[in-house]
Amino acid sequence: MQLLTAACFIFCSCTLIAAETHGAQHESAEDILQKVDEVRAPTGNYILESLLTSVKNTEKSYFKAQVLISGPTKTLTQILEPAIERKVTLRVEKALWIMTPHISRPIRIALGQRLAGVVSYADMARTHFSGWYLPKLVQANNAQYLLELTGKDGDEPYSKIMLWVQRGNYHPIKAEFYAASGRHLKTCLYEDYKMLAGRLRPAKMIYTETTDRNRLTVIELHRAEPHDLQKKFFNKDNLKTLRLNGQPLIDLSGR
């Protein structure tokens, strides 16, 4: 009788494990990653208001930004404060241009270039995970998925990303970013989920440098709203006409 009970237990356990694996196999890595991107950023046109806090040991610096986003391919980021850092950057697909008060025309720069502390321009302009990377499902359990993302074309800001995703709601938990050499550059924790633009999204992203744990940068999203955005904002030839006086391009204070 005991032998029969043990055999039944082993059979049921194997069945449950097989069912879990079978379920994970039915949900492709591409589907999971697409749903993660839908959590990370709303579709369509919208505006983000954010605060960056860069920490190195005991020193802190703050950056106030407004971000205009048109789908997954276009992002205009305006650094409002501090005054010495005022600028706008425009991302169209993987091309990025910058305009500051000290230059007469926009200059193209690399997406991986640092913006503030540990955060790159790609991080602020919303790296397009599902558009730029090929996902592979490395691990799946009852609680989460682990995806390995590999750059499709070789010109992505990061060569590889390891992404942990909460199962069921597809909330990103953690991401590790790697260079082409295989070096682990930094880690991002996705925290403080709040209702933003109609659904729960991470309102706080904490980026930590791998080689210096005392150096980190926090991006906090204070506002995310759908908005009709004029096409002129996403044309690099119009960057030099935008005001860089510390006032947001679109005033949401009365909304």
pLDDT of 11 above 70: no
The boundaries of the domain holding residue 79 are 26-238
| Residue 176 near residue 168, CB atoms below 8 Å | no
Which pLDDT band holds residue 107 (cuts at 50, 70, 90)? very high
CA distance 2 to 148: 44
**What does the pLDDT average to over 53-77?**
94
* pLDDT value, residue 207: 98
pLDDT of 244 above 90: no
- Please report whether residue 10 resides in a domain: no
* pLDDT value, residue 21: 42
- Please report whether residue 18 resides in a domain: no
Considering the chain, what is the average pLDDT of its residues? 89
CA distance 200 to 204: 12
Q: How far is CA 123 from CA 26, 29, 118, 218, 219, in A?
A: 31, 22, 9, 11, 9
- Please report whether residue 252 resides in a domain: no
- Please report whether residue 248 resides in a domain: no
pLDDT of 5 above 90: no
- Please report whether residue 180 resides in a domain: yes
Residue 107 is part of a domain; what is its CATH number? 2.50.20.10
For 58-69, the pLDDT digits (tens) are: 899 999 999 999
Domain count, the chain: 1
**What does the pLDDT average to over 81-91?**
95
The DSSP code sequence of 205-216 is EEEEESS-TTEE
Which pLDDT band holds residue 22 (cuts at 50, 70, 90)? very low
Q: Where are the alpha helices (DSSP H) in 41-156?
A: 121-124, 129-132
For 135-171, the pLDDT digits (tens) are: 999 999 999 999 999 999 999 999 999 999 999 999 9
CA distance 67 to 30: 27
For 202-236, the pLDDT digits (tens) are: 999 999 999 998 899 999 999 998 999 999 999 99
**What does the pLDDT average to over 97-124?**
93
CA distance 212 to 54: 13
- Please report whether residue 245 resides in a domain: no
Q: Where are the alpha helices (DSSP H) in the chain?
A: 2-26, 29-40, 121-124, 129-132
- Please report whether residue 249 resides in a domain: no
pLDDT of 125 above 90: no
**Residue 197's beta-bridge partner residues?**
none
Which pLDDT band holds residue 255 (cuts at 50, 70, 90)? low
The structure's pTM equals: 0.86
* pLDDT value, residue 1: 46
